[in-house]
Amino acid sequence: MNPESGAGVAPRLPMLLEAVLNVGSERELHATLQHIVDTATELAGAGYGALGVVDPERGNITELFTSGIDEETRERIGRLPDGRTGLIGHLLQEPRPLLVPDMSADVRAAGLPPGHPAMKSFAGVPIRVHAEAFGTLCLTGKRGAQGPDPAFTAEDLALLRVLASQAGIAIGNARLYETARRRERWIEGAAACTTALLTGESAEDALMTVAEQARILADASAGVVLQPTAEGGMEIVAASTLDDPADLMGTVIEAGSPVLEQLLGGEAVFVEDSATDERMTTRVRARFGPSMMLPLQSGGNLIGTLALPRRRGGPPYTAVDRLLASQFASQAALALVLADGRQDRERLAVFEDRDRIARDLHDLVVQRLFATEMMLESTRRRAAAADLDLDLDKLLGAAVDELDSTIQEVRTTIFALQQPPADAPATFRGRVLRETAGAATLLGFQPSVHFTGAVDALVPEPVGRRLLAELRGALAGAHRRAGITAVRVEVDAKAKLPDGRDGVRLTVTDDGTAEDGGGGEDGGGGTTVSWQAPI
């Protein structure tokens, strides 16, 4: 239907009502807006129609729906209107319906791209919802029987206003729906992140969880967590990207950087283009565009900063994006604090358990030492009363051996209790104890460990590594043999090698059956593995 110039609104009401009904029935915003501009073009008898959607924060056109323009023409026109110049810019700055009979005679129409079709008449209305400008609906190239390119009429403008109001409602509803969906995703993501942090992750894994969840929710190119350094800067300690994050890890914002003062002060920083913003000084900034840098703080304590940069040329973050991401960062910071507190409570429980073990050990040691004392006292009395040897050397030797064994066990146990539960042991003695503790899971019992001499001081690092490798092999071999009920590990740092040199000897003895059915070195049912090296 192509109404002629001068036709009133009444003949076009059925099509207008149909267009209004269709706007309410469409579920997809892009289809709705395209339908509106097509209907406006047909109802007003225009050659071309355009509906531009405006970014409410920046005032520029983010999307343009056209009618009457083929793809080749659109490619020739190139860029979108900037929303600040020309008649579209005028409509946005002064949001009132506008009729222009001859664009060539109106200075406000300047600035059309070189590839734009020639146009004369113009009709345009702003698209608004309440007081907010959402875009513009414009028509050009009026067709009719009153000569070439007649002017648009007041009736045409009235039709445009009705359709523009419907477009505004459609855009407003779609944005509200999208905002609700995004808010729901951020809430679900924050809940998932909190759950993950409170299930026992290490500090490094917890920070990585925050970075990865935030990256996915924000549709960012990367999610990174920065923490303050001793030199006064901030360093990336966790990074999540679709590519290899290795080049991001360890990146430092040096002290004195313009953005650092805001970050260390717990302020959020929003950047339109990381590559060109003068505040950004890191070596990786050229890869990214829009970015959010959000404080991770709880109770006034700054844990770090969550940065969410998008790729170069990516869409800028909206006010809703910034609000939701800031709320996520606050909740993530609280979850990190709670997770750290939970780990502290677990460590406290371990220390309390160790205190109990120490008390039990004390009771055991006292009993064994008391028994040894009674043995020595009995020997002394018998020897004094009968004035006889009575295998005195044998009894005293057994007593001394018992005391020595007790002392060795006490030293080993006390050292194990002193080892921090969450830290990898740095000493050779601690690493031996860690290997035997790990083997206990497979064996079903804890191997006994005995040290002779100052092993940490006497055993050099290369020899220690070789001893640990041999220990792992011996423990693995013991696990494969049948009938194992006990394993004894001995490390003697005072051993004498066959050539007379001082050395260290590792001996692993078990009571199981050898794989080949034979006995151990001593011909018994067990197996003994020994390895030695000079020190």
- Kindly state the average pLDDT of the residues 404-429: 63
Q: Is 488 left (phi over 0), alpha (psi -120 to 50) or beta?
A: beta
Angle at 13 between CA 9 and CA 16, to 5 degrees: 110
Which domains, and CATH codes, for the chain? 10-177 (3.30.450.40), 203-316 (3.30.450.40), 424-535 (3.30.565.10)
pLDDT in tens, 37-85: 888 888 888 888 988 888 877 777 888 888 888 777 677 666 667 666 7
Distance CA 240, CA 212 (A): 5
CA distance 349 to 351: 5
Tokens describing residue 1: 């239907």
Give pLDDT tens digits for 260-272: 888 888 888 898 8
Alpha-carbon Rg for the chain, nearest whole angstrom, is 41
pLDDT band for position 513 (50/70/90)?
Answer: low
Secondary structure of 316-349 as H, E, C letters? CCCHHHHHHHHHHHHHHHHHHHHHHHHHHHHHHH
Instruction: Name residue 534's beta-bridge partners.
Output: 503
Cβ count within 10 A of residue 172: 16
Strands lying side by side in the sheet with 487-496? 448-452, 487-496, 502-510, 527-534
Tokens for 91, please give them.
């409509």
Has residue 507 got a pLDDT over 90? Answer: yes
Inter-CA distances, 326 with 203, 228, 230, 266, 460, Å: 21, 19, 26, 12, 52
pLDDT tens-digit series, residues 122-170: 899 998 877 777 888 999 888 765 556 678 888 888 888 888 888 888 7
